[in-house]
Amino acid sequence: MDKQGVVSRRDLFSTLLKDAVKIMAGFKKESGEQDGITAAMEGFENLPIAATYPWELFEDEAKRLGIDYQKLGKLEAIKRIIAHQIKQNPPDYRPDVTDKTFEALPHIDPVTEIQAIFDSIFRIIIPSDSARSFFGIKGISEKLTGSPGWYLWFEDRPGAYLLELVEAESPQKGTEQESSYSLKKLFSGHYQIKYFPEVSDSQLLEKFSLSEQIVRASDFFDTTGTPTFEASTEIHDTLFLVGSLDVLQSPDKSFTQFFLNAPDHWVTRHLKGFELITEDGSEVMAIPPGENDRNAPAWQLSWWLVDRLITLFCFVRKTPPLCAAVFEKEGKVFEIDRDKSIAEKPEPTIKELKLATVFMVSDKTGEVNFDVDGYIAQLREHGFFRGASLIDIQKGKPAINRDWINSRWWHASHFDVSLEDTVPC
């Protein structure tokens, strides 16, 4: 880390390799071979690192080591880079000791617990060419600075998503008498959903704020359409935000719930106008007083991602939703004053939408007696849904698609998709 506290590409590369070393040490433990490097390199193609991390992270290192990646291919180049690093810096990693240490710890980190829900899915899907093609996934890359999360690219969506975990909590104490899917008994994580439009997609980009448009067209973004490593810690946290996703899971991992929240349109407006300073130092009124600066289709963008995540979850975990419910309440606009203070103002023309889905991940899924009415009553008491009206609900396979409830979620567990390239996690 440099003097300004900005993480350098080299620092991140070093961290990434340490993570790879730990994964490879696991290969050594499972294989029982003496040469951990050889065992790890033989199975390297199946490691998530080979498919999930951006090539830009390795390109400079390949050039420094004289590795001709254009001739060898990127996968082989990454393999040789990591092998070189391991030989230069042999890992002091003793899985037997580490495993016993973790077994003795009574505390379970909620961040690790929540992150593992998606991480375990991505590790199965990403190494498989057929699965990535079937689900239209172009790439997934773990976020390496700040809050944990993932960047996601899709074949049928020109921009890029960021799913970023900003808060996680353990279950409340003293809730032993609650039902297994009680909101009080679950690990919970709060994700922000951000969307970075393609610069060429002017029709959508113009619906974002002027500040977002300027930042998106700047060198804060690289060729992947996501923030550079350095810029990812400098871009204001509110930029490109389109929704939130709360993920909840029971300690025994038998129940998982997803709560999506976003307005149908995310609107900000400048009460006193928005001025820009030109190159010659003069001020130009870019947005007149009282006019909207942002009018992003937040729910549509957020639901699109969560729809894919739910479909992947159902496919990998081989389970349909027990229930899916859509709620609605009056929305709001964000009014910005000249001093940059922000006030929320109710706006009846904007609707705040919420989606709740609950899953049972167990061999007894078909036998569970799920109390839908009791579950909805719980949701109404939860701050996430308080004040919202139930506008749609589905238990069991729907005959047709409805707004915001996708019948594919109930069919996904039976999708005929080959996972021949994957290694069980």
CA distance 82 to 230: 23
pLDDT of residue 70: 78
The pTM of this model reads 0.74
Q: Along the chain (425 residues), what's the average pLDDT of each consecutive run of 10 residues?
A: 39 50 49 50 50 59 75 76 62 42 54 92 92 94 88 95 94 60 79 97 94 93 91 89 95 92 95 77 79 94 98 95 95 87 91 96 66 88 88 90 92 87 51
pLDDT of residue 90: 54
CA distance 389 to 66: 62
What are the φ/ψ torsions at residue 187 (nearest 5 degrees)?
A: -65, 140
pLDDT of residue 7: 37
What is the 8-class DSSP label of residue 150?
E
pLDDT of residue 10: 44
pLDDT of residue 202: 92
What are the φ/ψ torsions at residue 168 (nearest 5 degrees)?
A: -145, 145
pLDDT of residue 11: 44
pLDDT of residue 71: 78
pLDDT of residue 80: 76
CA distance 143 to 342: 29
pLDDT of residue 54: 55
Decide: residue 71, CB within 10 A, 0-12 exposed, 13-18 middle, 19+ buried: exposed
Q: Which residues pair with 54 in a beta bridge?
A: none
pLDDT of residue 354: 97
